Amino acid sequence: MSQEPIKLGKRESKLRVDPKWADVCLTCGTCAGGCPVTGVDGMDPRKAVRMAALGLDDELINSRFPWVCTLCGRCERACPMGVEILAMMRKARGLRERDKVPGPIHKGTMMSMERGNNLGIPYDDWLFLLADMSKEMEDEGFPGFYVPVDKVGARVISTVNSKEPFGEPDDMKFWWKIYYAAHESWTVSSENWEGVTWGLFGGDDESMKEQARRVLENGRKVKAEVLLLPE
């Protein structure tokens, strides 16, 4: 952190979830004590709260801490004053310039908005994979099994974590086996089937809402009773 004296402006902050914050935090350090990344970059949640309380917003927003933090919420659970540390961390992430969001989170979020899943798996490949694997399942001892797509009237509609079709397609079979054994009437969507909301991690509320809207819309289209997000 800089050696220059820090000038405090008016006590207002983009990061503060509640205006009373600065006074609420006891600086007791309980949060820091329970946080597994305390010490990384000389930071901890108590310091992060102090930074927001003192108006050092940009320093926090541009630091790695809100991203190294796993948003696990142990700090907040333990805080005696109910300081909303998680909401603050997400805000800090959301205020990072979008092209400076670490890793592929922002790219994935945009991909999901454009192509319906974080990893950009094309429509035809998705359907082909499902058809192919349906046959595989039949050969593996599940006669009659197939993956119902956009099936109107299904009771359960399930989203999919794009890493599975992309890299570990066989892991999708766990749920398939359960549905088979339970004689469930279920379905997945041909489009916008992504169940992982990277907007959540990037602090991107708009994309998050849009993704949720699409998933709900898919559910409504097939009139499903149960929406399952196996995350």
Partner 1 sequence: MNVFELMMEYIKEGRVKIDREKFAGKLATVHDPCNYGRKSEKTFGHGYYDEIRWITDQICDTWVDTYPTRENNFCCGAGGGAWAMPYTNERLYYGRKKAEQIADTGAEIVVAPCHNCRDQIMKGLTKDFDLDIETFYLWELLAESIIVEPWNEEEVEKAHKESEEQWERFGVELEDEDEWTPPE
Which residues, numbered 91-110, are part of the site for ligand SF4 (CB under 6 A)? Answer: none
Using CB distances below 5 to 8 A depending on partner kind, what does residue 79 bind out of partner 1, ligand SF4, none? ligand SF4
CA gap 48, 85 in Å, rounded: 9
Question: What x/- string results for residues 128 through 167 when contact with ligand SF4 is judged by CB under 6 A?
Answer: ----------------------------------------
> For partner 1, how many residues bind (rule: CB under 8 A)?
73
Judged by CB under 8 A, the residue of 49, 88, 196, 222 near partner 1 is 196
Which pair of tokens denotes residue 121?
A: 């798996």
Determine if residue 203 is left, alpha or beta; phi over 0 gives left, psi from -120 to 50 gives alpha, anything else beta.
left
- CA within 13 Å, CB half, 158: 16
Residue of 100, 69, 109, 96 whose CA lies nearest to 85 = 69
**In terms of C-beta distances under 8 Å and separation of at least 24 residues, what long-range contacts does 8-14 make, across chains too?**
8/54, 8/55, 9/55, 10/55, 11/53, 11/55, 12/55, 13/52, 13/53, 13/55, 13/57, 14/57, 14/91, 14/95
The strand ranges marked E within the chain are: 156-158, 186-187, 226-228
Q: Reduced to 3 states, what is the DSSP secondary structure of residue 188? A: strand
**Is residue 145 a contact point for partner 1 (CB under 8 A)?**
yes
Select the binding partner of residue 161 from partner 1, ligand SF4, none (C-beta < 5 to 8 A, by kind). partner 1
The least distance separating partner 1 from the CB of residue 9, rounded to whole angstroms, comes to: 30
What is the spatial distance between Cα 77 and Cα 120, in angstroms, rounded to a whole number?
A: 36
State which residue, 49 or 172, has the beta carbon closest to ligand SF4: 49
> Which residues on neighbouring strands pair with residue 160, listed in sequence order?
194
Look at residue 187 and give its three-state secondary structure. strand
Out of partner 1, ligand SF4, none, what residue 83 binds, judged by CB under 5 to 8 A for its kind, is ligand SF4
25, 61, 88, 160: which one binds ligand SF4 (CB under 6 A): 25
Among the listed residues 28, 127, 182, 226, the single contact to ligand SF4 using CB under 6 A: 28
**Least distance (Å) from ligand SF4 to the CB of residue 53?**
9
Show the binding pattern over residues 70-89: x = contacts ligand SF4 (CB under 6 A), - = does not: xxxxxx---xxx-x-xx---
The SS3 of residue 157 is strand
Q: Which of 13, 15, 16, 46 binds ligand SF4 (CB under 6 A)?
A: 46
69 binds ligand SF4, rule: CB under 6 A? yes
Residues 15-74 interacting with partner 1 (rule: CB under 8 A): 34, 36-37, 40, 64, 67-74
Q: Does 193 bind partner 1 (CB under 8 A)?
A: no
- Supply the minimum distance, in Å, between the C-beta of residue 51 and partner 1: 19
